[in-house]
Structure 1
């Protein structure tokens, strides 16, 4: 084997290692990456409740949808259901369950939820004030539900 053949073989081996490394990262390494909570787009409101915390972090209002993002710490989804209810002027306009719009598991007993309501058929004004109720509902019917209530005012975003 001359020097040229050795260089070609070494180049092929290096290329194969790089390609396999990229494939591993895309298939396995990406999945090992810890999920991140989106940056808050409103002033964060937090309430401490029965050994846990509930925080309202995001709210968006567009022509077609109201979307709420909230963080829940200290409650296991195996033991509790989480729901978000949106009220406008005392009237319920939306209810979403634990994964109504999305769920990001951040850590053990630490989650970020996205609740949303499609509002294409509702005639809502350019600015609205919402009462957001986040309910932690135990699977054991003998325990009481925990409710955190937040207020948020939103202007309709035009896209």
Structure 2
């Protein structure tokens, strides 16, 4: 992940499930160092990660077509790279017919400075503290964090909830 942040720049948010591999202290340290705001899925709610689950299904489907042709781990790794490349260049209705690669690397991509990232984090944290306190909790609860992050994204028109 660190290599990807250096190469592509860190995202502002990262959505993750509750698996130990993604909620590990090393991952949390890396996210904090790069000022990436994590949003964890609610427990036992795979539909929350619907797009991610769908993408994993697409990748697995692509690989199933070619699984018999890999004769080594190296060839399998190349197949994974090819599958990811092909899927990132597939036009998507959710991207108005553009593909993920073009959307990610386009000139109008949002980029946040460290100071801006800190402001976003503080805004979300302050609202999450307020929500948690109103519900009688002394610590920020995961639901309050998700709601606060969603509110910030809605406010800045990064997402639309219908």
The structure where strand makes up a greater share of residues is: 1
Ranked by relative contact order (alpha carbons within 8 Å, sequence separation 6 or more), the top structure is: 1
For the pair shown, which has the larger CA radius of gyration, 1 or 2?
Answer: 1
TM-score class, shorter-chain normalisation, is under 0.3
Q: TM-score, normalised by structure 1?
A: 0.22
Q: TM-score, normalised by structure 2?
A: 0.22
